[in-house]
Amino acid sequence: MSFATLQRLRCTRQSQANTTISVVTYRPSKHATEVPVFQTMTTLVLVSRQRFGLGCQHLEQYTNSEGMFLMAVIRLKSAALAAAIIGFAAPAMAQNLCGGAGAGGQWIGGDEASSDIATAGNYKEQMALVLGGNEYVSLFTVSSTSSVRIEAEGRGAGDPLIDLLDASGNIILSDDDSGGNGAARGEMTLEPGTYCMATQSYDGAPMTAFVRIGLTEHDALTEGVGGTDIPETPDRVDPTGDTPVQSGSCASGIQLGNNDAIRAGVSDTRSVDDNGFYRFTLDSPMAISITAENESADPIVTLYDGFDNYINENDDFDGLNSRLDQQSPLAAGDYCIAVSAYSDSTLPITLTLSEFDPAAALTALYDRGEAAPPLDGSVPFTDLGTLENRMRQDAQITHKVTWFAVTIEDAGLMVVEAISSGGSGDPWLVVYDDLGREVAQNDDYGASLDSLVAARVTAGTYIVGVGDYNEDVSNFGRLLFERYVPAR
C-alpha cells in the first residue's frame, strides 16, 4: 500500500514545558485496494523541542516503506511529561500496564477485547516501526493458563531483540536470534493476566519488523533454531579457560522435584562431566534461588524454561561461586538448570535449589559488603563514636564483612586504612553514608594487599565494612581512621 492510499484525519499540536507535541491520525483512504487486517488505523506522536521548529508537516518522514504509520514515541527525560504526551494516542489504562512499560503500547488485536491469546483462533500480528534507540510495545492478555509464542522478524537487515514483561513490569523472557536468521522468538507458559512484548533493534538503529503473538499450536512466523542454545554433547575445554565445559542435556537432566521439595531445599553434588543439567517442575508460581558452589571449578548456572528458552544466568556472584535469585515468581511449568565450569569440570559442584528468601538474600548482601546494614542492631556493628582526628581499631578480618560506624562532626576528608597483621591477609574496604549510598571502596592499595580509601565527607554517620578477599580465612588486622579539615 503506497502513501497515496493514506488519508490524514487530523493533526493537533500542544505546547508544554518548551516542548511541542504533534499528534496525527491516518487511515487508509477510500482508494486503498489492500488494507492489512492488523493495521486499519494508525496514530503517531511526534515530540520535539520548539527550537527545532518541527510540527505536523514533519510527520511524513516517519513512514515505513509501505507508507503505513505506527505508534512512535520519542523518550523524554521527564517521565511525567512522557506519560502526559503518550496519553494523546493511548488509552489511559495502557499507561499503567506492565509497570508503565505499556504506555504507548498497541493491543496486538487492535483493542483489549480482541487481544486475548488464550481464546484466539489464530495468531495476532503487527508491523512495528522501531525508531532509533527506542522500542515498540505490543499488548496482549491471556484469560487462562496458556503456552504462548512471541516472535519478531526484522525486514531487510533488521535484527530485533524482544522482552516479555508481566503486569508488574518484570522481564520474564528475553531473546535474540532464537527464531533463526536474526529473528527473535520465545515460548513460555503464561498464567492469566496482561503482558507487554517490547521489540527493539539490536544495534539501536531504526528498524521495521513483523511481530507475531499466538499459541504454540498456531503457525510460527520464524523457523526457530530447535533449542540448540543448550548443547546436547559436552563442549571441549578451551586451554585458555575462556570456554566453560557443559555436559548432557535438559532431557537427561536430574529431576529435583516440585514446589514442596524446593520449599524444603534440595541439593545435589556431582561434577559437570558426570551431568551438568537438572530439571524441576512448579505446580504453582514460585520465586526461587539457585546456587552452584565450588570455587575451584568456577561454576556458572543458567536457567531455561520448558521450551528451552533462556531466562537468566549467573557467574561469580560470591567469589567464584554462582547464585541466581528469581525474585519474581516463575509461572507454573517445567524448567531446566544448566551447570557449566570455567575451570575444572571434573570437580564436584554442589547445586542447591530453594525458595527465594528475601530476608536471607538481604543478609547475604550485608555479609558480602554489597549493601550497608541498618544501624538498628539487627546486624552486628561496632560504634567507634566521633572521629576527632585519628583512631585505630584492631579487628579479626574474615571473608564475611565486619561493620563499624564512625561519626564526623564537620566536613572534611576521611581516610581509612585496613592493614593485615604480618601481611598474611588480603583485606578490602567499603564506606557508606547513613542512607546506604556507597562513598568509596578499595582493594589492594599501592603495591601491597592492604587497602585504603580517602573520601570527602560532610557531617554525619558513616558505615565502614572490612572483609578479606579470600574465603575460609581469619586474619587479625588493624583499621586506621584519620580526619583532615580544610586549612583556615
The CATH class of 366-484 is mainly beta
Q: Is the pLDDT of residue 295 over 60?
A: yes
Q: In 135-262, at which residue ranges do the beta strands (DSSP E only) sit? A: 135-142, 146-154, 160-165, 171-176, 184-190, 193-201, 207-215, 254-255
pLDDT-wise least confident of 13-27, 111-125, 411-425: 13-27
pTM, to two decimals: 0.46
Instruction: With H, G, I as helix, E, B as strand and everything else as coil, classify residue 297.
Output: coil
CB 283 within 8 A of CB 332: yes
Rounded to an integer, the average pLDDT of 392-420 is 93
Rounded to an integer, the average pLDDT of 441-465 is 92
> For 60, phi and psi rounded to 5 degrees?
-65, -20
Q: Do 250-356 and 366-484 come out as alike in CATH topology? A: yes
Interatomic CA distance for residues 329 and 164, integer angstroms = 14
Interatomic CA distance for residues 485 and 488, integer angstroms = 9
pLDDT digits (tens, 9 = 90+) for 256-294: 999 999 999 999 999 999 989 999 999 999 999 999 999
Architecture of domain 250-356: Sandwich (2.60)
For the chain, the distance separating the N- and C-terminal CA atoms, rounded to the nearest angstrom, is 77
% of the chain exceeding 90 in pLDDT: 52
pLDDT mean across residues, the chain: 78
Sorted by where each begins, the domain ranges of the chain are 3-215, 250-356, 366-484
CA atoms within 13 A on the CB side of 186: 23
Better-predicted residue by pLDDT, 319 or 296: 296
Phi-psi region of 367 (alpha: psi -120 to 50; beta: other; left: phi over 0): alpha
pLDDT digits (tens, 9 = 90+) for 36-90: 333 333 334 333 322 233 333 333 333 333 333 333 333 333 333 333 333 333 4
Q: Which CATH number fits domain 3-215: 1.10.3720.10, 2.60.120.380, 2.30.130.10, 3.30.1360.70?
A: 2.60.120.380
pLDDT-wise least confident of 11-20, 321-330, 359-368: 11-20
Q: Is the pLDDT of residue 30 over 60?
A: no
pLDDT number for residue 307 = 87
pLDDT number for residue 204 = 81
Between strands 382-386 and 402-408, the pairing is parallel
